[in-house]
Structure 1
């Protein structure tokens, strides 16, 4: 009886040991795949970041590439296929000031989708890296806009989805506080600010006073030259936000890195 029990247990113990061995093997293989995936991700991010920096340097845009990260999972299959779901980039100090005019974007976040970056291209450094679509966002500070308006005491802020202004002004020899909002539009690579809805506390409702107010509104209505953005990004929209004017830009079928000559 005891001998039969021991005989029956021996195959079960072997089976358990085999199962444990298989589980350990699976865990080891999974760990190796994770490591390989991380290595592939690091290789792709470093190499594509270098290509992006080269492309930014070649273009007229003045900017620093702060970071590049590859999205999607797993990375290893993306590297082998040469096609990436998304590549996110952060640019700093995108400069658009020309002879003291224009604004700088302290930070621009760029998201490139459906990126073709063949492995041979990344290895050799010769060939094209292209994105099916690129989306960029950045913010123009209100302080920089106020400097362009160049009138004493101008304060800008988001106001119920519009760009609001408050400023002291001399009209007809008297001091008033002007308030109102601006219409925003993107035109020929510039943001157009048009103040046509201004009021002034206690300003007399007489033609001369109202004409002076309209003249002031015309003086502070300006066009803001925007920085030239890399990767053919064209600004499509601008919206007032608590921290400044948020601009969005888009492009399609964009070379992130052109063929080397």
Structure 2
């Protein structure tokens, strides 16, 4: 039986199996053809250089390519040869259909950029005008520190051309006002009419109305008036408490006082000092001023200790004027000096300590230095306290001030005390700065 004969396919006589007349392309070249070509008239690929003629050419080119491909594909083998799809026609049609959108966007972008440039220029003009105003105010008002000027309203250029500003805020720190300095002045000026041209020929301005406030800081008052280590703090809506140390005859005594704030006219603040006292710690208090409250008086604790100390009690009873103020007759005082039982009877009486607290020791300390020393009081300090006068002491606590003369037309109102210091409102209308013509 004959074995079947294997019929093998004839090998093409051409290398790599390619037939003559058939062109094979590199697949990477086919991928490159899928990308849009670079157009120098339209580098961003927005389709701005494409017209309807281009679309027609693209359609014709697409059809021609297809027909050429069909013609090329009909060869030996009898089938249509595959050709890569042409995406160029559809993409160009889409870009051509919406070619008006980018132009509108460009117009909008141009308007936005122009508006930003105008706003930037307007703000630069505002900053320049503010800086010039700060320099001019510092120069004309003789200020130690340049103020902070803020011009409101937009646009500024139209206000400048019209010579009429809507609102200007001014903040001035450290304004000298008599013995004290105003920590901060804040003002809001409205309806400002400019005289002259900014910034070259500015001559003055007229302010329609103005409001603001001033602050006398407790911190500044303590630094400027507290050379004796006195510190100020709020005590009530119109009162200030002063506490600190005061050197007297080489010793430190404690100072305590109250200052009541009130308005003085329309442009000033005045104070009245009350309840002032100087304490020798743990021993006595000196109250300056006229009788009957003025004088040197023992603390209650010190008076109780004297009632329990026989030597100090005898020292008091040995002075007839003091014994008389204690309500002890000279006969009883003489007996107490030699009889401990009589001394205890006097000092244990419930009337002794209250009577001792009411005794003014100024004269006794001056006339009898030994008595002052027995009671723990330095006679030199007692004498120096007696020489202190009320005006001299109140001057150390003087919180009064007046608005500067150059701030004409401005009035003070609603004066009060806050935790930060003494505050007052500022008001004014029809204010003139510089030349108003």
TM-score exceeds 0.5? yes
Selected match of 1:88 from 169, 186, 192:
169
Q: Which residue of 2 aligns with 1:193?
A: 271
Q: Which has the higher contact order (CA 8 A, sep 6+)?
A: 1
CA distance in 1, matches of 2:291, 2:136: 61
Selected match of 2:400 from 204, 214, 224:
224
In proportion to residue count, which structure has more strand? 1
Q: Which residue of 2 aligns with 1:31?
A: 116
Moved more, 223-232 or 65-74: 223-232
> 1:153 Cα deviation (Å)?
5.7
**Secondary structure of residue in 1 paired with 2:400:** strand
Q: Which residue of 2 aligns with 1:244?
A: 421
Contact residue 190 and residue 223 of structure 1 kept, 8 A: no
CA distance in 2, matches of 1:6, 1:149: 85
Deviations 1:165-193 (A, max 9, x none): 34679xxxxx9977664431110443221
Contact residue 69 and residue 87 of structure 1 kept, 8 A: yes
Structure 1 unmatched ranges of 5 or more: 170-174
> 1:130 Cα deviation (Å)?
1.8
Contact residue 51 and residue 256 of structure 1 kept, 8 A: no
What aligned pairs does 1:129-208 form with structure 2 within 5 A after superposition? Answer: 129-142=205-218, 145=221, 154-161=230-237, 162-166=239-243, 181-188=258-265, 189-196=267-274
Contact residue 173 and residue 185 of structure 2 kept, 8 A: yes
Contact residue 198 and residue 217 of structure 1 kept, 8 A: no
> 1:16 Cα deviation (Å)?
1.0
> 1:41 Cα deviation (Å)?
1.0
Question: Residue 255 and residue 208 in structure 1: after superposition, are their counterparts in 2 closer, same or farther (change >3 A)?
Answer: closer
Deviations 1:18-76 (A, max 9, x none): 2211221121112111122123213322343344345325xxxx554333221223323
What aligned pairs does 1:67-86 form with structure 2 within 5 A after superposition? Answer: 67-86=148-167
The count of corresponding residues between Structure 1 and Structure 2 is 243
Structure 2 unmatched ranges of 5 or more: 1-57, 60-88, 247-251, 297-388
Q: Which residue of 2 aligns with 1:14?
A: 99
In proportion to residue count, which structure has more helix? 2
- Root mean square deviation, CA, Å: 4.2
CA distance in 1, matches of 2:228, 2:95: 93
Contact residue 231 and residue 251 of structure 1 kept, 8 A: no
CA distance in 2, matches of 1:160, 1:223: 15
> 1:110 Cα deviation (Å)?
2.9
Contact residue 96 and residue 227 of structure 1 kept, 8 A: yes
> 1:122 Cα deviation (Å)?
1.4
**Secondary structure of residue in 2 paired with 1:65:** coil
